[in-house]
Structure 1
Amino acid sequence: MIQRAHKKRVIAISGGAKNIGKGIALKFLELGWNVGIIDFDKHALGEFDVKIPEEAKKSILLYNGDVSDEYAVSEFYIKLKEKFYRLDAIVNNAAIGGFKNFLDLSLNEWRRVIDVNLTGYFLMARLGVPIILETAGRGSIVNISSTRALMSEPGNEAYSASKAGILGLTHALANSLGPNIRVNAICPGWILHEDEIISEREHLQHLTGRAGRIADVAELVYFLVDDERSGFITGQYFVIDGGMTKKMIYI
């Protein structure tokens, strides 16, 4: 039964305590949503909690957990439903790099990247979708992939495979969950982290004349979550990279 008495919309964000995930969380807090964050980085969660205004804390749930752990994801959603009563959207953002020379990459290291970056997305969707259907009726999932799903450098095997897997998961979920839940992916390129500074030359290699900002991704997430703006879009991926994947570069 849909609990229509609880009108304030709710979004769950994995890896939401810093960088892109944090920017997305702050964007939705500004828009008046309730926000649930699951993040493995306990220190980042503490910093997030300290910095947000006191009046915003009633609108946020912070949970320290590993998205590759089914129990942790389940408990996160239990706490989220207890606090906010509903769920409208999921943003899968949690990821680890694991960049390493291929011939030095161990099976355990490979599995850890796949577990967090791909299986974690599966668990967030698998355990969150029933809550969306029960409480809101309709909703949206946005999966944060990467341009490394489409192009690579040496030592990217685990990360690139996980990010490409996210694109397959995205269109599969769009088929399985439509029409009530739309599922899309975003492939960011070079997005500057908090306080990251790069050279003018590094900016100018982009066709836009600059590297990406966290706000660029957060705005696109909001567009894809909002049914009025993007209600006819599902199963797609959106590259946000300043045009870098469209450049031919030869040595």
Structure 2
Amino acid sequence: MADNYIERKMEELEARKAMPKKPVSNRAGHKRRVFVTGGASGIGKAIVKAFSNEGYRVAFCDRDAERGKETSKETGALFFPADVSDKEALESCLQQLFDRWGDVDILINNAGISEFSPLTETTVEEFDRILSINLRPVFVASRYLALHRKQQTFPNPYGRIINLCSTRYLMSEAGTEGYSASKGGIYSLTHALAVSLAEWHITVNSISPGWIATHDYDQLTSQDHLQHPSGRVGRPEDIARMCVFLCQDGNDFINGENIVIDGGMTKKMIYVE
């Protein structure tokens, strides 16, 4: 009898897991509205999937139209083909969502590129290009959301902005000047925005991933994994789960923070023996 009871309970658990998620709603009963930049692949795609699976209304932009359409088909999220370094294109995405949804509750500034080169071989134009993709769009999108909130007749009492930073805001390898500067800028911009946007009930936090393998995870070596105190290299879902956590209603007291998710690597003292 005990065995049958356990089996029955396991079946009930699996059945509940298979049931569609109850949409995450605000007090008026409307689904929370999420916009993710760079959501077609990698960490951005994991974020789009996570919020879609939790019942949010999700939209994302990406310059990769082919992958964007695939992600949209997989998740049901609304896709805008756009290059975030183009101010007008990024603002247009948000304005279309304001026209369609009325507002955006959650903004995830995820889009970015990782391009490294020796300092003496890096041009000023290349440095500027990295900042125009990784850093400036965080300001552009956040500012545009603030302008929209300022014009609202009935203030939205809920808001979240999450910026994807990197552990390289604090530590570096040679040849990473553009990338490190962009992530350092995001770190500082995050706490500045948290203070400025408090007026519109928007919390602003950043997440600094360490090594997150976005493809070919099974090709990693045991050495890759075991150098991490957590015993493994990170996955995009590790970051997506934190995004969802920060957006829960009760977590509005986390504000202006940078959350490091790196398997403990930045806490590990390393000397060459």
Indicate whether the TM-score tops 0.5. yes
For the pair 1:35 / 2:52, whether they are aligned, the reply is no
Which residue is 1:161 aligned to?
181
> In 1, Cα distance between the equivalents of 2:193 and 2:72?
33
Contact 2:43–2:240 (8 Å) recurs in 1: yes
Q: Does structure 2 conserve the Cα–Cα contact (< 8 Å) formed by 1:87 and 1:136?
A: no
Unaligned runs of 5+ in 1: none
Separation in structure 2 between the aligned mates of residue 125 and residue 117 of structure 1, nearest angstrom: 14
Deviates more, 1:147-156 or 1:40-49: 40-49
In 2, are the aligned partners of 1:73 and 1:127 still within 8 Å (CA)?
no
Count residues in correspondence. 242
Give the equivalent residue in structure 2 for 1:234. 255
Residue 64, structure 1, aligned to residue 81, structure 2: yes
Identity %: 41
2:103 corresponds to which of 71, 76, 86: 86
* Partner AA of 2:47 in structure 1: I
RMSD: 1.8
Correspondence 1:191 to 2:212? yes
Q: 1:129 to 1:61 in 2, by over 3 A?
A: farther
Which structure has the bigger radius of gyration? 2
Which AA in structure 2 matches 1:29? S
Please, which moves more after superposition, 180-189 or 81-90? 81-90
Deviations 1:30-82 (A, max 9, x none): 11111110111222212213434xxxx3xx22011111211101210122123
Match of 1:211 in 2: 233
- Summarize the Cα distance change of 1:227–1:130 in structure 2 as closer, same or farther, 3 Å threshold: farther
- Superposed displacement of residue 246, structure 1: 1.0
Q: How does 1:72-221 map to 2 (within 5 A)?
A: 72-132=89-149, 134=152, 136-178=156-198, 180-196=201-217, 197-221=219-243
Alpha-carbon distance in structure 2 between the residues aligned to 1:200 and 1:169:
37
Contact 1:15 1:38 (C-alpha < 8 Å) held by counterparts:
yes
Deviates more, 1:14-23 or 1:43-52: 43-52
Give the deviation of 1:4 after TM superposition.
Answer: 7.6
**Structure 1 residue corresponding to 2:67, chosen from 26, 31, 44:** 44
Deviating more after overlay: 8-17 vs 38-47: 38-47
Following superposition, the deviation at residue 118 of structure 1 comes to 0.5
Give distance in 2, aligned partners of 1:14 and 1:194. Answer: 19
Q: CA shift at 1:6, angstroms?
A: 6.8
Deviation at 1:85, TM superposition (A): 2.6
**Contact 1:88–1:132 (8 Å) recurs in 2:** no
Which 5+ residue runs of structure 2 have no aligned equivalent? 1-25
Does the aligned pair in 2 maintain the 1:13–1:37 contact within 8 Å? yes
Kindly indicate whether the alpha-carbon contact (under 8 Å) linking 2:203 and 2:255 is maintained by their aligned counterparts in 1.
yes
Measured in 2, the distance between the counterparts of 1:37 and 1:87 equals: 12
Q: Secondary structure at the match of 1:178?
A: helix
Provide the C-alpha distance between the structure 2 equivalents of 1:118 and 1:6, rounded to a whole number of angstroms.
34
CA deviations on 1:154-176 (whole Å, 9 max, x unpaired) are 11100001001101000000111
- State how far apart, in whole Å, the 1-side matches of 2:41 and 2:100 are: 22
| 2:43 maps to 1:20 | yes
SS state of the match for residue 207, structure 1? coil
Contact 1:93 1:144 survives alignment (8 Å): yes
CA shift, 1:102, in A, is 0.7
Task: Note if contact 2:72-2:78 (Cα within 8 Å) is conserved in structure 1.
Answer: no
Tell me how far 1:238 sits from its aligned partner.
0.6
Residue 136 and residue 36 in structure 1: after superposition, are their counterparts in 2 closer, same or farther (change >3 A)?
farther
